[in-house]
Amino acid sequence: MAGSCCGQNIAFDGLSRAYKRILLIVIAINAGMFLFEGAAGFLADSQALKADALDFLGDSVTYAITLAVIGAPLLVRSRVALLKGLSLAAMGLWVLISTGMAVWDDGVPLAPVMGGVGFLALLANLASVALLMRYREGDSNVRSVWLCSRNDAIGNIAVVITASGVWISQSAWPDLLVAAGMALLFFSSAVQIVRQALAEQASLQAA
């Protein structure tokens, strides 16, 4: 989504009633899945499910913040996006640390629970991705919403595949490796969000 003024492209800033309605729907989806998948993660003793549930929580907060600052000056929106990028990096660090600690745990996750919950989470995220698809090229604040939703969908696919790996190997290693991979995905998205936010701030200073 972009407009133009004097020949220059302007990134979509979220100032649309349709976009706000979509955000409210997506917030509800993510908040509900955080509670459900978080409980399932502890039940199944799965680091991948816990990491994905944390991603749902982060998305819920991210989308709520995005909704709150829609219509604010670009400097405010870019600063909020910068904070969200740093928060995403912090979540990735937490997942890496908790996954590293779980290496010493001899337990094996419950593969059927992982697979079933991962599939339900995938459906929820595909719905969110479909709703947000047309807004994926917005400013840093809007783009952060798209990146978080994309992360969730990728993470859910990985969880479903990992459940098969856990069941076949009767080992927690597939679960731990996917959780670590999801942490790296958090870091990657954080870098993209931070870079775009800093670029927006630099453009304002140069204007």
Which CATH number covers residue 197? Answer: 1.20.1510
The whole-angstrom separation of Cα 108 and Cα 167 is 9
Question: For position 207, what pLDDT does the model report?
Answer: 66
Kindly report the CA angle at 124 between 64 and 38, in degrees rounded to 5? 75
Q: Which domain holds residue 80?
A: 14-206
Query: Could you give the number of structural domains in the chain?
Result: 1
Does residue 24 lie within any of the structural domains?
Answer: yes
What is the pTM for the complete model shown? 0.71
Q: What is the pLDDT of residue 203?
A: 85
CA triplet 201, 68, 51: central angle to 5 degrees?
A: 85
pLDDT of residue 5: 34
Q: Residue 2 contacts by C-beta under 8 Å, 6 or more apart in sequence?
A: 9, 10, 11, 12, 137
Q: Which residues contact 203 (CB under 8 A, 6 or more apart)?
A: none
Predicted confidence at residue 34, as pLDDT, reads 92
Residue 118 in domain: yes
Whether 5 is covered by a domain: the verdict is no
**Is residue 3 assigned to a domain?**
no
Check if the beta carbon of residue 127 is closer than 8 Å to that of residue 59. Answer: no
> Residue 53 domain-assigned?
yes
Given this model, what pLDDT does residue 4 score? 34
Is residue 7 situated within a structural domain?
Answer: no
Averaged pLDDT, groups of 10, the chain, 207 residues long: 40 77 92 92 85 82 83 83 86 85 77 87 89 78 75 80 84 83 84 86 81
The answer to whether position 126 is within a domain reads yes
Question: Residue with structure tokens 């976009």?
Answer: 19
Single-letter amino acid, residue 179: A
Backbone angles phi, psi at 9, to 5 degrees: -75, 135
